[in-house]
Structure 1
Amino acid sequence: MSTLTPQQLIAAQQANMDAFFGITNKAFAGFEKLVALNLQATKAAVAESQEIVSKVISAGNPGALLALQASISQPAAEKMVAYGRSVHEIVSEVQSEISAAAALQGQQLQQDAQGFVENLKKNAPAGSETAIAAWKSIFSAANATYESANKAAKQFVATVSTVQ
């Protein structure tokens, strides 16, 4: 007794494939942002290095070199902090989008599983109540595990975000 039609299986596979490629595209978009940020930071660093080398060459005495070093260190530290924030923002955005997509996929999976059990219950022969109860128990346990893992993942992300 099969309760799923080939069209339902194809639709489910298509939905899973769309979800997979959607998440993959989000990850690549984040990667592209990181590459662009790194290219921008590298280009700025090269330009600043050229300027610093010119100033070092034109500095005539050790006092001027020490003043130059002092004037460079603070902006460099600020730029590193800004770079770190930008990386964190990009990674957080991608993580948030992927988490939302995964949560949506998990909800859809739960609905599909519940629909499967309900359909099985409607079409089951008499005397199969025990088997249906077992299926319900399995799906309930899977849902509880999913919810627990989802909660733990959210707590982990919140903890990591506050540390940075």
Structure 2
Amino acid sequence: MTQWSPEQFTKAQLAGIEALVGLTGKAFECFQHVTELNLQTMKATLAETQEGLEKVLSVSNPQELLALQMESISPATERALAYRRQFIEILAATRTEFDKVGEVQYTAGKQGLHDFIASVTSKTQAGPAAPLAAWQEALNATTMFYESLHATAKQAAQVAESSFNNVSQAASSGARRRTAQHSQAAAK
């Protein structure tokens, strides 16, 4: 049987540490972007709340108050949807980076296992090669299954994201339409 040399072991450990450090950096970067998005959203919300309160205090009759409330629904919906889109973009970018690192680690590990099996198979006598060949076939089948699952998961994520975007657009359009209808009704 083949033994790992100390250099190979050290190289594998360093690769794992580098991957972990890279992923930790990406996680902190994601946290920083989400924190910045939240701070921007809070600042904008405070400013809009102050402006809204000033408008409410200047209202002289209930119809104006109702019109003001209807007027604020659509922009609030738009801001919430914009926040969610930006949040999803940050998470998607981070997930993409994690996927890249995971793919590199998976490919390297798979190649190392294939090389190990090939090395063991080439050094064994004819008799024990059959179980190793069966193990190689099982590994190939598992690899194909994993890659199929990975592709299916990517497609499912894309479909879910597309569906959410369609629902968001419909909600935004509905909010604008309701605001327009209430504005027209208030004007009459």
Output the TM-score relative to the length of structure 1. Answer: 0.87
Cα displacement (A) at 1:159: 2.1
Paired letter, 2:30: G
Return 12-21 or 124-133, whichever deviates more.
Answer: 124-133
Q: Give 1:30's aligned residue.
A: 30
Return 121-130 or 54-63, whichever deviates more.
Answer: 121-130
> Over residues 35-94 of structure 1, what are the superposed CA-to-partner deviations in whole Å (9 max), with x where a residue is unaligned?
211111111111111111112112222233223223222211111121121112112111
Alpha-carbon contact 1:3-1:119 (below 8 Å) kept: no
Alpha-carbon contact 2:2-2:120 (below 8 Å) kept: no
Aligned length: 164
Q: Give 1:76's aligned residue.
A: 76
* Aligned: 1:88 with 2:103: no
Report the secondary structure of 2:60's partner residue. Answer: coil
Alignment of 1:51-62 (within 5 A): 51-62=51-62
Q: Give 2:105's aligned residue.
A: 105
The whole-number CA distance in structure 2 between the counterparts of 1:37 and 1:114 is 45
Return 131-140 or 46-55, whichever deviates more.
Answer: 131-140
Gaps of 5+ in 2: 165-188
Q: Give 1:47's aligned residue.
A: 47
Report the secondary structure of 1:31's partner residue. Answer: helix
Return 36-45 or 96-105, whichever deviates more.
Answer: 96-105
Q: Give 2:9's aligned residue.
A: 9
The whole-number CA distance in structure 2 between the counterparts of 1:111 and 1:146 is 15
Structure 1 residue ranges, 4+ long, deviating more than 6 angstroms after superposition? none
Report the secondary structure of 2:111's partner residue. Answer: helix
Return 94-103 or 142-151, whichever deviates more.
Answer: 142-151
Alpha-carbon contact 1:59-1:65 (below 8 Å) kept: yes
Q: Give 2:21's aligned residue.
A: 21
Report the secondary structure of 1:7's partner residue. Answer: helix
Cα displacement (A) at 1:6: 1.4
Alpha-carbon contact 2:2-2:119 (below 8 Å) kept: no
Calculate the aligned-residue CA RMSD, in Å: 1.9
Alignment of 1:142-153 (within 5 A): 142-153=142-153
